[in-house]
Amino acid sequence: MPLFRNPTRAVEIGSTTIGGGQPIVVQSMCATKTADVEATLAQIEQLAAAGADVVRVAVDHKADCDALREIRQRTGANLAVDLQENYRLAAEVAPWVDKLRYNPGHLYHHEREKPWREKVRFLADIAAANDCALRIGVNCGSVDPAQQEKFAADDALRPMLESALEHCAWLDQLGFTRYCVSLKDSDPAKVVEVNRRFAAARPDVPLHLGVTEAGMPPEGVLKTRAAFEKLLAEGIGDTLRVSLTVPVARKHEEVEAGRAILADVAAGRFSGDEYYRTFAEGSKKRLEIISCPSCSRVENDKFCELAERVREATRYAADYPVTIAVMGCRVNGPGETDKADLGLWCGPNFVNLKRGGTPLGAFSFAEIIPRLKRELDEIIARSEKAR
């Protein structure tokens, strides 16, 4: 049964189109070092073979852009690039890709004195000159600080929403309409609400759905499914990615999970409903492990193993409402763990730990789990006392 779809405008990404009534496009992202051409090519081919319509890679520096030039010559896959904080790399990389993703919150990191509108004008010009689409990728962990200051006190989701709307309005004003938007949070209920609100305000703009830091399967798939089912059933969503904490060799599971969700929704099967009612909408809380899907920036090959060890070591606390965040790098780790009770992020040879907002130091891979459990036990003991 074809899904009912919102009448969004069509946005071409290489040989595929999102929106405009086209089938929903499934995406995934490489977790290899982008500068490692052979490994990244193998990852792109793995994802494309699994059914990814668009594959994203991250660029951090010039070496990544040079690698993409070679990768472009050797694959026909539709490529999107994640510009991270360095928006100026767009000029280097746009000739080799089909879509540029920028995060409005990250535009504040470089050239702070330059207004964001100028930076977006630069990106739109580069995209137009190189036949690329754009994605305005708003993420709960790195929202535009100006919007945060204006609206967060009244309405937690409004800064994300206003940031996306403001960037859409500016791109429209510039005459660049080949763009889509994503609004991602690690909480499925927030993903549903913010995307509903955006779709109501801008029904013409194609939406890329995602639950950020959904974590490891099977929980990560279930959490994502819970949000996607709601939105897709309402006609919201033109493309999607299921972000999972899995090693490079298993990244194809993201694509398979995305395709399975689409098939189930089309067939009227909603197996994420119970999760949504119990944990996302409902009052039942439990231990939550959020973890990033890793990307080119991940600082240690043992990151996925670390996330798995955290899950195994904390199973005894499953019924306590504690959030543990496990991130792959020092760039996004400190910010993305801000809302968690306990946050871990990888450095090259160690793991940083913080509790609430307080850094507790860097620990070896052997030390980190016992220390994490000590902190977790203290949090549990305090919550027991407070009952």
Q: Which residues bind ligand SF4 (CB under 6 A)?
A: 292-295, 297-298, 327-329, 331-333, 336
Nearer residue to ligand SF4 within complex by CB, 95 or 335:
335
- Output the smallest distance, CB 117 to ligand SF4, in A: 26
Nearer residue to ligand SF4 within complex by CB, 208 or 297:
297
Nearer residue to ligand SF4 within complex by CB, 186 or 332:
332
Q: Where are the alpha helices (DSSP H) in 236-352?
A: 252-266, 273-275, 303-313, 333-336
Nearer residue to ligand SF4 within complex by CB, 237 or 333:
333
d(CA 154, CA 371): 37
d(CA 82, CA 217): 24
Q: What are phi and psi of 126, to 5 degrees?
A: -65, -45
Q: Of 41, 95, 34, 98, which is closest to residue 64 (Cα–Cα)?
A: 34
For residue 236, with 0-12 CB atoms within 10 Å meaning exposed, 13-18 middle and 19 or more buried, which class applies? Answer: buried
- Output the smallest distance, CB 332 to ligand SF4, in A: 4
Which run of H or E residues covers position 189?
helix 188-201
- Output the smallest distance, CB 253 to ligand SF4, in A: 16
- Output the smallest distance, CB 213 to ligand SF4, in A: 8
Nearer residue to ligand SF4 within complex by CB, 207 or 295:
295
**Using a CB cutoff of 8 Å and minimum separation of 24, what contacts does 59-63 make?**
59/34, 59/83, 59/84, 59/86, 59/89, 59/92, 59/93, 59/296, 60/34, 60/84, 60/86, 60/89, 60/296, 60/297, 61/86, 61/89, 62/89, 62/92, 63/35
Ramachandran sector of residue 181 (left: φ over 0; alpha: ψ -120 to 50; beta: rest):
beta
59-74 burial code (b ≥16 CB/10 A, e <16): bbeeebbbbbeebbee
- Output the smallest distance, CB 378 to ligand SF4, in A: 26
Nearer residue to ligand SF4 within complex by CB, 57 or 194:
57
Residue type (1 letter), 223 = K
- Output the smallest distance, CB 296 to ligand SF4, in A: 7
Alpha-carbon distances, residue 210 vs 160, 226, 314 (angstroms): 14, 11, 26
Please, what sign has the CA dihedral across residues 20, 192, 44, 57? positive
Could you count the other beta carbons within 10 Å of the beta carbon of residue 381? 10
Strand boundaries in 308-376, DSSP class E: 323-327, 342-346, 351-355, 358-363
Nearer residue to ligand SF4 within complex by CB, 11 or 304:
304
Nearer residue to ligand SF4 within complex by CB, 162 or 336:
336
Nearer residue to ligand SF4 within complex by CB, 78 or 142:
142
d(CA 170, CA 17): 23
- Output the smallest distance, CB 328 to ligand SF4, in A: 3
- Output the smallest distance, CB 29 to ligand SF4, in A: 8
Nearer residue to ligand SF4 within complex by CB, 164 or 295:
295
Asked if 300 contacts 357 with a C-beta cutoff of 8 angstroms, the reply is no
C-beta nearest to ligand SF4: residue: 328
- Output the smallest distance, CB 82 to ligand SF4, in A: 8
- Output the smallest distance, CB 302 to ligand SF4, in A: 13
